[in-house]
């Protein structure tokens, strides 16, 4: 039951981010539905394929598609009322990331029993829909931005998996994972949290070398 | 038999659009074969993966690959004779879209019995090869252009699925779906048919707001 | 045993090219791990999905993921010591291409018995990780560059498959395939080997036509 809630919550908010991306591209209604479906269902589709669960979840139960269609339809007529569509997209994406990191980890753990696979599946489910959305919309991938993103999904999946390993009840480890992932990603959006980035060696810059020689 | 014809027709024309994309990028022969194969086989590959049909169709019967190779080879030596390669690409893509929307719907219906899944599979099979072609060729996706595209594939798949639900014989519902999809997409190419696009709220444009204030 | 060596060698060097791409984008540690995993595991993942081997190899044995994590970690702290990261990336990519073209062909041959499928699987396994790396990093795909690339993978897979068909022992046909693929790709990098590219019809260029008329 809890996982079903996370499932539909994740699909709905990711579908909404897809529809908002379509609104930024000024697409037609079918474009809204397409982006809603790709973003809402993409992560879970790759997860099921890779785990060998066949057919994938939305073929087994088309309700998921109907959720994407309703969300796309709703936003086609209401997206213009939102003050900052990009800001809404980013925050909904954070909610979806939190829900899917736990859901993916739960499905990975159920299918394989391996904590490593559970954590990877959490991160993969939470990020792949957004990657596809940005690729097809020709926007720079959210992965290349400096703020914490995959890290939040990994942390949420770790939180859930650790909770399960410690014998916590499912709702507690799920809540634990969702809170960790959302707190990290939300903090990254609001406060600009980043991890230390790779910096090329000082002096690698050709102009710097030139200046040194001139001295 | 009929589905086999649609299958090879779809592969051949999508492979041709891939080869024409390769000619626009001035690739070598292997580049032509690669783009022909990705575009010709991409949609059906995703369809089979998602439906859990394993292995995918072209692994089960490599004839499909040979068709792509022959088409790529042929166009490597003849594409320069075409007056407008882009126009040819767009029209062949319309033929492939019509054939694959029905074929995908037929495969989806056979595998699951669900009309919803049949329609989605029609649209997915008809569009994914072209999406991959545009992504890898670094060209703006055909999905982001204003003319009707996915809508035509959905309509063709609906036509076929409705025909089947009404108990029409397979060749009649197939013809029905192919004609609907091609008529819609062809009209979109020739007359520039579009669906109403999403428009941001009037007055959202900063310049407009400025003008209002000046009055 | 031999295939296991090729497997880990391919993963390690492709993971390294992914990490080097991450260093060029100045990502954080998790970005390094993500690109290492996508590039190292991408080709084999598509291969297993298409062949219907389920679950895919790295779900069945997470050691592969650990290799990617270690490589990504190592390069995060050492990539700045490399004089030309792009040159290293290109050469490691050539090693991975050679290893994966043979490994993919071996897996394709074992799963289907078809030489055609074996050769396609060799090329697909060797190239798909790099395609994903370039797509997600928003860099022009290695496929669109003029030098021989897919051709080398195809030739390596052909070499291995021919060796097996001739009854050569596995290590001999593997060595044969690896040497052919690496020699071709290495020559392409060092000497700029290319296949003849498609050239549009002379006189298609509008300026040329103009000049002719002026005479």
Q: Note the pLDDT tens digit of each residue in B30-70.
A: 999 999 999 999 999 999 999 999 899 999 999 999 999 99
| CA C134 to each of CA B89, B100, B136: distance values in angstroms, whole numbers, following the listed order | 25, 29, 9
Q: What pLDDT is recorded for position C146?
A: 81
Check whether B206 has a pLDDT greater than 80: no
Residue A59 and residue B198: Cβ atoms within 8 Å?
no
Check whether A202 has a pLDDT greater than 90: no
Q: What pLDDT is recorded for position B73?
A: 95
**Chain C residues lying within 8 Å of B45, measured CB to CB:** 50
Check whether C82 has a pLDDT greater than 80: no
Q: What pLDDT is recorded for position B203?
A: 45
Chain C touched by B199 (CB under 8 Å): no
Band the pLDDT of A4: cuts 50, 70, 90: confident
Q: How far is A33 from chain B (nearest CA, A)?
A: 10
The structure tokens listed for B56 are 């995918």
Chain A touched by C63 (CB under 8 Å): no
| Cβ partners under 8 Å of residue B107, min gap 6 | B47, B48, B51, B53, B121, B125
Chain A touched by C138 (CB under 8 Å): yes
Check whether B86 has a pLDDT greater than 90: no
Mean pLDDT of A194-200: 83
* Closest CA in chain B for residue A50: B49
Q: What pLDDT is recorded for position A128?
A: 92
Q: What pLDDT is recorded for position B58?
A: 94
Of B37, B55, B79, the CB nearest to C51: B55
Q: What pLDDT is recorded for position A206?
A: 43
Chain B touched by C113 (CB under 8 Å): no
* Closest CA in chain C for residue A196: C28
Of B25, B26, B62, the CB nearest to C199: B26
- DSSP secondary structure letters along C143-196: GGSSB--HHHHHHHHHHHHHHHHTT--HHHHHHHHHHHHHHHHHHHHHH--BPP
Check whether B17 has a pLDDT greater than 60: yes
Residue B200 and residue A23: Cβ atoms within 8 Å?
yes
Rounded Cα distance between B97 and B84, Å, is 20
Mean pLDDT of A164-172: 93
Mean pLDDT of A154-178: 95
Chain C touched by A110 (CB under 8 Å): no
Within 13 Å of residue B76, how many CA atoms lie on the same side as its CB?
Answer: 20
| CA C160 to each of CA B33, B175, C127, C173: distance values in angstroms, whole numbers, following the listed order | 21, 45, 17, 5
Q: What pLDDT is recorded for position C205?
A: 46
Of B49, B51, B194, the CB nearest to A28: B194
Q: What pLDDT is recorded for position B202?
A: 52
| CA C208 to each of CA A145, C182, C212: distance values in angstroms, whole numbers, following the listed order | 45, 41, 6
Query: What percent of chain A has a predicted confidence (pLDDT) above 90?
Result: 63
Chain C touched by A117 (CB under 8 Å): yes
Check whether B150 has a pLDDT greater than 80: yes
- DSSP secondary structure letters along B162-205: HHHHTT--HHHHHHHHHHHHHHHHHHHHHH--BPPBP-PPTT-S
Of A50, A114, A141, the CB nearest to C136: A141
pLDDT tens digits, one per residue of C91-116? 988 999 999 999 999 999 999 999 99
Mean pLDDT of A78-96: 83
Cα-based angle A90, A96, A101 (whole degrees, multiple of 5): 125
Chain C touched by A112 (CB under 8 Å): yes
Check whether C207 has a pLDDT greater than 70: no
**Chain A residues lying within 8 Å of B118, measured CB to CB:** none
- 3-state helix, strand and coil shares in percent for chain A, rounded to the nearest 5: 80, 0, 20
Q: A197 in helix, strand or coil?
A: strand
Residue A26 and residue B150: Cβ atoms within 8 Å?
no
Place of tokens 């169709």: B57
**Chain C residues lying within 8 Å of B55, measured CB to CB:** 50-52, 111-112
Mean pLDDT of C122-128: 93
Which of 15-44 (B) contact A at CB < 8 A? none
Mean pLDDT of B198-203: 65
Band the pLDDT of B85: cuts 50, 70, 90: confident
Residue C144 and residue B32: Cβ atoms within 8 Å?
no
**Core vs surface per residue B115-126: b (16+ CB within 10 A) or e:** bbbbbbbbbbbb
Mean pLDDT of C154-172: 94
Mean pLDDT of A15-33: 91
* Closest CA in chain C for residue B75: C198
Whole-angstrom distance between the N-terminal and C-terminal Cα of chain A? 70
Mean pLDDT of C128-147: 86
Q: What pLDDT is recorded for position B188?
A: 92
pLDDT tens digits, one per residue of B151-177? 999 999 999 999 999 999 999 999 999
DSSP for residue A194: B
How far does CA B181 lie from the centroid of its chain? Answer: 10
Of C26, C55, C80, the CB nearest to A197: C26
pLDDT tens digits, one per residue of C41-81? 999 999 999 999 989 999 999 999 999 999 999 999 988 88
Check whether B207 has a pLDDT greater than 70: no
Mean pLDDT of B127-142: 88
pLDDT tens digits, one per residue of A116-159? 999 999 999 999 999 999 888 888 887 788 888 999 999 999 99
């Amino acid at each position: 039951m809890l996982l079903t809630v996370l499932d539909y919550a994740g699909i709905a908010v990711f579908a909404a981010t897809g529809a908002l991306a379509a609104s930024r591209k000024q697409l037609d209604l079918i474009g809204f539905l397409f982006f809603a479906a790709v973003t809402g269902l993409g992560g879970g589709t790759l997860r099921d394929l890779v785990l060998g669960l066949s057919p994938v979840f939305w073929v087994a139960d088309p309700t998921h598609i109907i959720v994407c269609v309703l969300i796309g339809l709703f936003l086609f007529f209401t997206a213009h009322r939102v003050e900052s569509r990009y800001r809404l997209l980013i925050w909904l994406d954070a909610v979806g990331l939190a829900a899917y990191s736990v859901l993916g980890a739960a499905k990975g753990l159920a299918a394989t029993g391996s904590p490593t696979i559970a954590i990877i599946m959490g991160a993969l489910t939470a990020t792949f829909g957004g990657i596809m959305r940005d690729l097809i919309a020709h926007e720079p991938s959210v992965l290349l931005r400096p703020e914490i993103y995959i890290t939040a999904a990994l942390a949420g999946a770790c939180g859930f998996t650790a909770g399960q390993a410690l014998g916590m009840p499912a709702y507690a480890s799920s809540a634990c994972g969702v809170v960790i992932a959302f707190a990290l990603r939300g903090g990254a959006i609001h406060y600009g949290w980043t991890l230390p980035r790779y910096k090329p060696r000082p002096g690698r810059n050709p102009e710097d070398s030139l200046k040194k020689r001139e001295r």
